[in-house]
Copies of this chain bind each other. A is one copy, B any other.
Amino acid sequence: MSNLPARVTINEEGPREGFQIEPGPIPTARKIELIDALSRTGLRTIQVGSFVNPKRVPGWADVDAVVEGFRRDPGIRYTAIWLNAQGFERALRHRDRLTLTGLALSAASETFLVKNQNKTLADNVEAQRAQLRLYRDHGLESVTAQVMAAFGCNYEGDVPVRAVVEQAAILLDLAGECGFRPRTLSLADTMGWATPLGIRRVVGAVCERWPDLPLTLHLHDTRGLGLANAFAGLEMGVAEFDASVAGLGGCPFAGHTGAAGNVCTDDLVFLCDELGIETGIDLEALIAASRLAEAIVGHPLPGAVRRGRSLASIRHARAGLTAA
């Protein structure tokens, strides 16, 4: 069963997820400071902001200034999200600085889709088709297909694996119709329902149906199983994960007050390091960025290795002692 990948890609979503949910206004300069710190860690994908309605998400009213302000490393894909055509138009203005990847989105729970996106599954097919056509017309290079609530839903409870496969099939078909082959299929544990056994079940069914399709896991650490679930995914061969530095963030629309952020990037990189899986990320630099994130938001954030120190740093200090 163990099929650990040799190398894992981590998409850093901390700035976007975190600054969306923090109650206090965070100065634009500090958002940029965190993005610049993250650019020095070896991360190759950093989601820097969200083109959303500033009335609904005031934390991203300054997204244009943030996107124009960070120090751009040409080796890094800086990404952003938007929720509708208007947001996409705004993102297009920054095409010289951002890698625009279209998101084709559905959910394994129709009730969640209605509550979160105000769309039935049928409405959503039309909406996603319209979005994908827009992406095609604007010459976007790639899209990601994502099935939300893929492991359970606060409104519908446990969701059948079949519903995940069905929605993935619909998104892949829609993408194909518009000339896209999605770069990855992302399975999102939007409300923190996954367990290691659930990960194996869903990832197993998806791999069986599409053996050559790269998968991404988007995991939330709502109930403490984030890293156990990530490990289960790694053992199924999943080689791409979304994560948030210091566990920043959380979804304000997930229907419960305890919505936790993505799995913590620092802890995920630590796990990969200890398993001998390459990430390309310098954990000590990442821990420094994680401390900065905590300083910026001004309250304790999740994530353990930032406090506990990496084992590599302890081994290194010991080697120094031995050599001395």
**Which residues of A come within 8 Å of B, CB atoms?**
1, 152, 154-158, 192-193, 195-197, 221-225, 227-228, 230-232, 256-260, 264, 267, 270-271, 274-275, 300, 303-305, 307-311, 314-315, 318
Is A157 a contact of B258 with CB atoms below 8 Å? Answer: no
Is B314 a contact of A154 with CB atoms below 8 Å? Answer: yes
Is A309 a contact of B258 with CB atoms below 8 Å? Answer: yes
Known: A195-B274, A311-B152. A224 touches B264 (CB 8 A): yes
Residues of B within 8 A of A256 (CB): 308-309, 314
Determine which of B155, B227, B270, B305 lies in contact with A227 in the assembled complex, contact meaning CB atoms within 8 Å. B227
Q: Whole-angstrom distance from the CB of A194 to the nearest CB of chain B?
A: 9
Copies in the complex: 2
Q: Whole-angstrom distance from the CB of A134 to the nearest CB of chain B?
A: 36
Determine which of B223, B267, B271, B275 lies in contact with A311 in the assembled complex, contact meaning CB atoms within 8 Å. B223
Q: Whole-angstrom distance from the CB of A263 to the nearest CB of chain B?
A: 9
A selection of 20 A-B contacts at a CB cut-off of 8 Å is: A1-B1, A157-B315, A157-B318, A158-B315, A197-B274, A197-B275, A221-B304, A222-B308, A223-B270, A224-B264, A224-B267, A224-B270, A224-B271, A225-B227, A228-B230, A228-B231, A256-B309, A260-B304, A260-B308, A300-B300
Residue of B nearest to A274 (CB): B195
Is B305 a contact of A223 with CB atoms below 8 Å? Answer: yes
Residues of B within 8 A of A192 (CB): 308
A258 to B305, CA, bound (A): 9
Residue of B nearest to A273 (CB): B195
8 closest A-B pairs by CB: A224-B304, A224-B267, A228-B228, A222-B308, A258-B308, A258-B307, A223-B308, A223-B305
Residues of B within 8 A of A314 (CB): 154, 157, 256
Q: Whole-angstrom distance from the CB of A201 to the nearest CB of chain B?
A: 12
Residue of B nearest to A310 (CB): B223
Best-buried of A196, A260, A270 by chain B (most CB within 10 Å) = A196
Residues of B within 8 A of A270 (CB): 223-225
Q: Whole-angstrom distance from the CB of A61 to the nearest CB of chain B?
A: 28
Is A271 a contact of B228 with CB atoms below 8 Å? Answer: yes
Residues of B within 8 A of A156 (CB): 318
Known: A304-B222, A309-B258. A271 touches B195 (CB 8 A): yes
A259 to B197, CA, bound (A): 30
A259 to B314, CA, bound (A): 14
Residues of B within 8 A of A225 (CB): 227, 267, 270-271
A274 to B192, CA, bound (A): 12
Residues of B within 8 A of A309 (CB): 256, 258
Determine which of B227, B259, B311 lies in contact with A224 in the assembled complex, contact meaning CB atoms within 8 Å. B227
Residues of B within 8 A of A258 (CB): 307-309
A274 to B157, CA, bound (A): 13
